[in-house]
A = this chain, B = another copy of it.
Amino acid sequence: MIDKVVEDIDAAIADIHDGATVMIGGFGRAGQPVDLIDALLRHGAGDLTIVSNNAGNGDVGLAALLQAGKVRKMICSFPRQNDSWVFDGLYRAGEIELELVPQGNLVERIRAAGAGIPAFYSPTGVGTLLYEGVETREFGGREYVLVEALHADFALIQGYRADRLGNVQYRKTARNFGPPMATAATTTIVQVDEVVPVGDLDAESIPTPGIFVDRVVPVGWREWTPDGRYVGGLVDVNGQPVETGIDPHEGHTKATDHKPSGTEGTR
């Protein structure tokens, strides 16, 4: 019987080796697989190449991995954010290598790797600093740059729900890089709020079919996921911690009242 569920998050990432290329999903904080990243930090693998849209927020998750000196190189589109002080410091100190890729080319390189396309032509970046010296070619009178696929050894992704076959659903804009990254790594590891019995996920609505997933790690519901409404009241519209003065729990079930039920996949 197929059972991709791994309850022990440390075991789930234990084969990530020094020097590995690791894709990390997420756009800003949405979809960032924070529990997997924390496990990777505990695990201790270093000399990593990280492929991720951003280069960490605050002092947690990817930022903590960077702070610990585990990352040799970042491949990303937007390392500079208002809370990316860890990356900023390393970069200015010359302690980290950066490959800057326009976001659309970055995700298309990832998608291409997963789909067996070794290279493609893109209009994005033609005539810019980022593609100086890169081969170009005309199609229909317009100029395009040649862009190569981007593979990884591991992909770490945050999903919402999954089954033991590795079928994964996402939640809202946290989907972002999950589906393409899941296809582009030799080993794909997905943390989810909940593992559900096989057959519970609508077959018409599986952005990441199990064929792309090697391990599913249930980490428990996040504060807002049981009823789709954030009940932590801890971030403002910019994702920054605030005191709102509103009791966010009023009229809501507390997250801790929900425990993911025993699942078909883990029985």
| CB atoms of B118 and A121 under 8 A apart | yes
Contact of A243 with B by CB under 8 A:
no
Contacts of A148 in B (CB 8 A): 139
List CB contacts (< 8 Å) of A73-95 with chain B. Answer: none
Contact of A245 with B by CB under 8 A:
no
Chain B residue with the shortest CB-CB distance to A112: B120
A140–B116 CA distance with the chains assembled, in angstroms = 12
| CB atoms of A119 and B120 under 8 A apart | yes
| CB atoms of B120 and A117 under 8 A apart | yes
Interface size class of A (residues with CB under 8 A): 20 to 34
Contact of A205 with B by CB under 8 A:
yes
A115–B137 CA distance with the chains assembled, in angstroms = 18
Number of copies: 2
Contacts of A115 in B (CB 8 A): 108
Contact of A57 with B by CB under 8 A:
no
Contact of A202 with B by CB under 8 A:
yes
Chain B residue with the shortest CB-CB distance to A151: B140
Contact of A99 with B by CB under 8 A:
no
Contact of A197 with B by CB under 8 A:
no
Q: Looking at the complex, which one of B117, B139, B144, B169 makes contact with A122 (CB distance below 8 Å)?
A: B117
| CB atoms of B123 and A121 under 8 A apart | no
Chain B residue with the shortest CB-CB distance to A148: B139
Contact of A142 with B by CB under 8 A:
yes
| CB atoms of B120 and A120 under 8 A apart | yes
| CB atoms of A204 and B119 under 8 A apart | no
List CB contacts (< 8 Å) of A189-207 with chain B. Answer: 202-205
| CB atoms of A108 and B117 under 8 A apart | yes
Contacts of A172 in B (CB 8 A): 203-204
Give the B-binding residues of A (Cβ under 8 A). Answer: 108, 112, 115-123, 137, 139-140, 142, 144, 148, 169-172, 202-205
Top 10 nearest A-B pairs by Cβ distance?
Answer: A205-B205, A118-B139, A120-B120, A119-B121, A117-B120, A118-B121, A118-B144, A119-B139, A204-B205, A116-B123
